[in-house]
Amino acid sequence: MTIELRLDDALLVNAAGRHHAAIGIHDGLVVYVGARSGCPAAERVIPCDGRYVLPGLIDPHVHLGVEPGVPFSESFARDCETETRGGLFGGTTMFATFLMAPRDYVSDLPTWIDIATEHSYTDFALHAILGNAFDPSQLRTMHELGVWSFKHYINAYKPRREESADASLSVGRLVAEQHADDDVFYESCERLAAAGPPAISMVHAESAEICYLLEDRIQADGRADLRALADARPAICEDIRVYFAIRVTEATRCPLYIVHMSSGDALDLVASGRRRGQTIWAETCVHYLSHTSDDSESVGVWGKVIPPLRSPRDRDCLWQGIRTGVITNVGTDHVSWTRVEKEQTTTRNGSVWDALPGIPGGMEHMLPVMYTLGVLGRRIELEDLVRVCCENNARALGVYPQKGVVREGSDADLIVLGDEVRTLGTAGASYRTRSDFSIYEGWKLSGWPSFTIVGGKVAVENGEFALDRARGRLVPRHSSRVPLRTGAANAVDRS
């Protein structure tokens, strides 16, 4: 038998460890991992020369199709193409994006799946946002169509007391009906627990009422920089809602996935819940590991993200959380804003209250930033990177071991790390997604793939795109438990 592709002299790195191997690929799957002498002949051989070979990264937290004034189906189709294409240059070979339909998902869900299948260059999963207006009778059909993860805003984006639902509609504020009241969240967790694996409850944890109180005070003082946003949405607002989410999901016996954790103090709450036997996935995002609220001079208010960038102490706790296993997942909260779209609301050094929230380019930059700051910066090991960016994201989505690992029988989604050190510029030519700017402008980043292979096909080769058509598919999901560590994972040292 002659297989399609073989990688020779690879230093294969999975979350469990690393070893030298030849890797055989055929018909979209990894069919051999082992000594070169035992691998079949191949139509093409890529000599890795001892370079690292990793599973393709999975971005579990993406927002595609978010553009005010543009029909969702149109912007979603565009983003599925541009963002997955650009993401492949950074080694991202699967994504999970959030859909938003306050009342009715079922009517449009088959169309959205078709759009992503037609336009995406990578496989994908879908999350749905569940709020007060959602019709829970749709859950069974959504499960049948492949949607098992449901995000709740508890109670971020809750309308102010003086606002009606219509008044709360504005750029940068989600539709008020997407907010989930406490009783809605509790009942939702009951239903997801009853549905069984791989159903999972996701939460954006922030106390809207405290945020609004502090925001009004800070705006009255005339403050409008990046630090002002952090002071208006302090870590306590996240901590108290993380605690609430943990206790509700514990009471309802529902698995919990906490998105974009930014508070170092909240990690102890996660560790405590796990010690009681609860399944809790804890995700942070790349920008919380790379930037802080002290970075106004370099990124301006275009560093606005919600929850906000926090203190250097919080950033350091998050890195430690990855090392110890408290942080199980890393995503990007990716959006596709362009410079022009950002400037429509405010300039880089304008008012943070007017700025569009969201940091673009994450699908392209996740691996280089994590490799440069984490591995080369000696904050984490390469196996840790694979664990939080590949394996655990696959486990949380219910697609492991099909994804997230390079072993016989897994999908042939993998990357060969190259030697390139690239300085990101200020012009659009520096970027491969739709976005033409980045919070990493001027940064020297390593860890760019010389080869990205997706579904057994070479997608990127030495900086050139090699696929001739989109090939995405909605990946079926199944049960997958969080692999908990013991000992050091139970606490975070803040000394």
In this structure, what DSSP letter does residue 307 have?
Answer: S
Q: Provide the pLDDT for residue 493.
A: 46
Say how far apart CA 296 and CA 302 lie, in whole Å: 9
What pLDDT score was predicted for residue 103? 81
Contacts of 69 (CB under 8 A, 6+ apart): none
Write out the two tokens for 344.
Answer: 């429509």
Question: What gap in Å lies between CA 82 and CA 433, rounded to an integer?
Answer: 5
320-359 residues labelled b (16+ CB within 10 A) or e (exposed): bbbbbbbbbbbbbbbbbbbeebbeebbebebbbbebbbbb
pTM over 0.85: yes
Residue 403 CA to residue 400 CA, distance in Å, equals 5
What pLDDT, on the 0 to 100 scale, is given for residue 68? 81
Q: How many CA atoms lie within 13 A of 333 on its CB side?
A: 22
Q: CA–CA separation, 465 vs 374, rounded Å?
A: 27
SS3 label, residue 330:
strand
CB 268 within 8 A of CB 492: yes
Look at residue 283 in the predicted model and tell me its pLDDT: 98
Cα 207 → chain centroid: 22
pLDDT at 480: 60
> Any idea which residue has 């491969």 for tokens?
432
DSSP string for residues in 175-229: -GGGB--HHHHHHHHHHHHHH-TT-EEEEEE--HHHHHHHHHHHHHTT--SHHHH
- Neighbour-count burial of 210, counting CB atoms closer than 10 A to its CB (0-12 exposed, 13-18 middle, 19+ buried): middle
pLDDT tens, the chain, 495 aa long: 899 999 999 999 999 999 999 999 999 999 999 999 999 999 999 999 999 999 999 999 999 999 888 999 999 999 999 999 999 999 999 999 999 887 899 999 999 999 999 999 999 999 999 999 999 999 999 999 999 999 999 988 888 877 654 444 343 344 466 889 999 999 999 999 999 999 999 999 999 999 999 999 999 999 999 999 999 999 999 999 999 999 999 999 999 999 999 999 999 999 999 999 999 999 999 999 999 999 999 999 999 999 999 999 999 999 999 999 999 999 999 999 999 999 999 999 999 999 999 999 999 999 999 999 999 999 999 999 999 999 999 999 999 999 999 999 999 999 999 999 999 987 666 799 999 999 999 999 999 999 999 999 999 999 999 999 998 999 999 976 555 443 334 444 443
Which of 305, 272, 268 has the alpha carbon at shortest distance from 288?
305
What pLDDT, on a 0 to 100 scale, did the predictor assign at position 201?
98
Give the C-alpha separation, 96 to 127, whole Å: 7
Give the chain's radius of gyration (CA, Å): 22
